[in-house]
Amino acid sequence: MESSEAYIGPEPHIEVHKYYGGVVSVAVVLALLLQAFLPVHFRWANYLELPLLVTVYFALSKRNPSTGLLLGMVIGLLQDSLSRTPIGLYGIAKTLVGFIASSIGARIDVEHPIARFLLTIGFYLFHHAVFTLSSHWLLAQRDQSYITGPILIASVVNGVIAMGLFPLLDRFRKPS
């Protein structure tokens, strides 16, 4: 029986990756742990947004919008829980990132390092914009800027980190 709905899954030529059990959970926990831990010891770590990188990576790889948005939501809410922000701010931002990243991953090849670099920069800026917009609209906090020099630097730093981190996570894929 054929479905009457249009096919909206990954393009036939794009492979959906699967991972060994627990890899996603461990990666998420590690990202949250390092995000909470590193800035205490190293000032430069304030530029990092490891939970976002993990969200982007797995959303791009899973290529399923529902999975991507749920993963983004979980990571975002956990990040909210460990931060002083009201719970939901990171959640909303990462939910949207997860949804869009998995939608993009379903349509284009995102394995190339340059593509990953540019996508990470774009998602970082988008994530920051959604976070700031949510703060403005929902919390009436108007002390954050959408684009500043440090934010641009942070987006590039995270893009560079992604170029190293994503191939590392690729090693935990199940062979197809």
Partner 1 sequence: MTAIPSRHRSLTLLAGVIVAQVLLLAVQIKQERDVRLIRVWAVELISPLQRAATWAIDGVENGWGGYIGLRHTRQQNLALRAELDQLKIRNAELEGRAREADRLERLLDFRTAHAEVPMLAAQVIGGSPDSGSLLVYINHGSRSGLRRDMGVITPDGVVGKLLAVFPDISEVLLLGDKESGVGALLADTRTQGVVKGTGEPQLILDYISNDEKVHSGETVLTSGQDRIFPKDLPVGTVVQATKDPKTPFLDIIVKPSAHLDRLEEVLVLLTRQELDTQKGSGKDASTAPAITRPIAPKAPAKAPAATQ
Task: Name the site residues for partner 1 (rule: CB under 8 A).
Answer: 1-3, 5-9, 29, 32-33, 36-37, 41, 64-66, 69-70, 73, 77-78, 80-82, 86-89, 91-92, 95-96, 99, 103, 134, 138-139
Nearer CB in complex with partner 1: 3/176: 3
DSSP-derived 3-state class of residue 173: strand
Q: How far is the CB of 149 from partner 1 (least distance, A)?
A: 29
Burial class (CB within 10 angstroms; exposed 0-12, middle 13-18, buried 19+) of 28: buried
Cα 125 to Cα 65: distance, rounded to the nearest angstrom: 20
Look-up: residue for tokens 């394995």?
111
Burial class (CB within 10 angstroms; exposed 0-12, middle 13-18, buried 19+) of 125: middle
Write the DSSP symbol of residue 89.
H
Q: How far is the CB of 106 from partner 1 (least distance, A)?
A: 10
Nearer CB in complex with partner 1: 76/159: 76
Q: How far is the CB of 138 from partner 1 (least distance, A)?
A: 5
Nearer CB in complex with partner 1: 55/134: 134
Nearer CB in complex with partner 1: 49/155: 49
